[in-house]
Amino acid sequence: MTHQNLSSNPKQKIQNIESPKGRVAVLTPGMGAVATTLFAGVEAIKRRLAKPIGSYTQMGTIRLGKRTENRSKLVKELVPLAELDQLVFGGWDIFPENSWEAASKAQVLDKELLTAIKEPLSKITPMSAVFDNSYIKNIRGPNVKNYKNKREAAELLQADIRNFMKENSCDRAVMVWCASTEIYNPIKKVHSSLAEFEKGLLNNDPDISPSQIYTYAALKERVPFINGSPNICVEIPAIHELAREMRTPICGSDYKTGQTLMKTIVAPGLRNRLLGVAGWYSTNILGNRDGEVLDDPGSFRSKEVSKKGVLEDILSAEAYPELYKDLCHIVKINYYPPRGDNKEGWDNIDIFGWLGAPMQIKINFLCRDSILAAPVALDLALFMDLAKRADLYGIQEWPSFYFKAPLTAPGIKAENDLSIQLLKLENTLRFFSKEELINHLGMVHYGVDEEELQ
């Protein structure tokens, strides 16, 4: 939550969020492996063909009050989230295949399950995309928009959002970025303010990427935006300004799945026990379209930045120079088509303990990338719809649990430790529902009355 959200007396609104009525459009730029695994999963869960494993909003429980109260609730019973039945999926892609065809091609889910949900998935066809080959080199497709400048591109996307909501009788929408990783595009002058950015849209500034145009279009329509990739879009000051102006929430970046999820589970444990880390070598083989896009050095650079920051932040050389100042951290991704979506990640971790004695840890994770990403995308869509209904706007830090490179208010250091991120998420949900925040102090068990400590 940003500080300015709280200072304008929104407590009333945040703590009295009404139950959601009507339908929510979940719009995904990109209808590839992650998006179609999300759509297919929700359709299968609605038909009771599968369980929402991995989704905190659907399966998570949260402890409430003191431990002595023995009280807990399902997350979805604590806060008024939209029901899965209220979600309507749509999106954009440069390839014209419908979601059933795209899901079949992605080969994430088994054929039997896909056959059972062919009807609803076949109806989700992609709108034409705003695409620029100079930002994504390794793919080309025919389903793209023509426009004279980037301002018109944004207007076409805004019209798509409005038409989709009208045709599908939706009351609200959220946009969840599920398209490919663009080349690394650091913040420049054109991103520095909304005025500069809007000038750049008109002048077709080459430093404005498609993901930034989608973000701009979503916010202009007051649609919350979630960045599931390492693209620089919700990070730019122009977008922060627009999100505040349109009172609309944004969050990102890059879903925390696979190898990075493992890193944020293991690394805090090593640091908390004051074990040194000399080196962390991570490599992956991946054969889906995401892997093909990341085979381009420009797109890989974006991924490398979001993947590497996590470890350097958790294993802080500043706080613990004797333990981490010489940390050698290497990350590689190799495109290996036979593997499809079944990524394999290897981590070799060289650690040292008492008196400097060296030890090693090896992690071999045979993960299913989109299986890990789909519940994350679902939770984020539901939480950002909740945030919008609570009138929260601008940068949302409380969903950092889901991201490799959590977006924070300018000047604030991100928290990358998964368990602290969960604590933050849980306390935010407790706050929404007027429940006591839990600090795990628990002094009453040592004979001290906590009220006397207030």
Ligand X SMILES: NC(=O)c1ccc[n+]([C@@H]2O[C@H](COP(=O)([O-])OP(=O)(O)OC[C@H]3O[C@@H](n4cnc5c(N)ncnc54)[C@H](O)[C@@H]3O)[C@@H](O)[C@H]2O)c1
Residues forming contacts to ligand X in the complex (CB under 6 A) are 29-34, 92-95, 106, 129-131, 136, 139, 141, 178-181, 210, 228-229, 254-255, 257-258, 288-290, 293, 369-370, 372-373
Paired strand residues for 276: 352
- What do you get for the CA distance between the two ends of the chain, in Å? 24
Residues 402, 375: Cα–Cα separation, whole Å: 10
Residue closer to ligand X, measured from CB, 94 or 315: 94
Q: How far is the CB of 26 from ligand X (least distance, A)?
A: 15
**Cα-flanking dihedrals φ and ψ of residue 29, to 5°?**
-65, 125
Residues 32, 104: Cα–Cα separation, whole Å: 10
C-alpha distance from residue 87 to each of 25, 57, 198, 378 (Å): 6, 14, 32, 10
Q: How far is the CB of 174 from ligand X (least distance, A)?
A: 16
Residue closer to ligand X, measured from CB, 248 or 259: 259
Residues 369, 401: Cα–Cα separation, whole Å: 17
Residue closer to ligand X, measured from CB, 254 or 426: 254
Q: How far is the CB of 97 from ligand X (least distance, A)?
A: 9
Residues 351, 238: Cα–Cα separation, whole Å: 42
Select from 27, 8, 89, 381 the least CA-distant residue to 221.
27
Q: How far is the CB of 93 from ligand X (least distance, A)?
A: 4
Residue closer to ligand X, measured from CB, 270 or 333: 333
Residue closer to ligand X, measured from CB, 129 or 201: 129
Contacts of 307 (CB under 8 A, 6+ apart): 230, 259, 260, 282, 331, 404
Q: How far is the CB of 183 from ligand X (least distance, A)?
A: 12
Q: How far is the CB of 213 from ligand X (least distance, A)?
A: 9
Residue closer to ligand X, measured from CB, 255 or 401: 255
Q: How far is the CB of 341 from ligand X (least distance, A)?
A: 7
Q: How far is the CB of 331 from ligand X (least distance, A)?
A: 13
Give the distance, in angstroms, between the CA of residue 308 and the centroid of all CA atoms in the same chain.
17
Q: Are 291 and 335 in contact (CB under 8 A)?
A: yes
**Cα-flanking dihedrals φ and ψ of residue 172, to 5°?**
-140, 170
- Cα–Cα–Cα angle for 417, 422, 423, rounded to 5 degrees: 100
Residue closer to ligand X, measured from CB, 72 or 134: 134
Select from 197, 201, 47 the least CA-distant residue to 113.
47
Q: How far is the CB of 74 from ligand X (least distance, A)?
A: 26
Residue closer to ligand X, measured from CB, 34 or 117: 34
Residues 250, 407: Cα–Cα separation, whole Å: 9
Coil, strand or helix: which one is 8?
A: coil
> How many CB atoms within 10 Å of residue 366?
9
Residue closer to ligand X, measured from CB, 290 or 296: 290
Q: How far is the CB of 35 from ligand X (least distance, A)?
A: 6
Residue closer to ligand X, measured from CB, 33 or 315: 33
Q: For 168-193, b where at least 16 C-beta lie within 10 A, e where not — what string?
A: eebebbbbbbbbbbbbbbeeeebbee
> How many CB atoms within 10 Å of residue 289?
21
Q: How many residues does the chain have?
A: 454
Task: List the structure tokens of 300.
Answer: 């890989």
Task: List the structure tokens of 9.
Answer: 């007396």
Residue closer to ligand X, measured from CB, 93 or 435: 93
Q: Are 238 and 194 in contact (CB under 8 A)?
A: yes
Q: How far is the CB of 138 from ligand X (least distance, A)?
A: 10
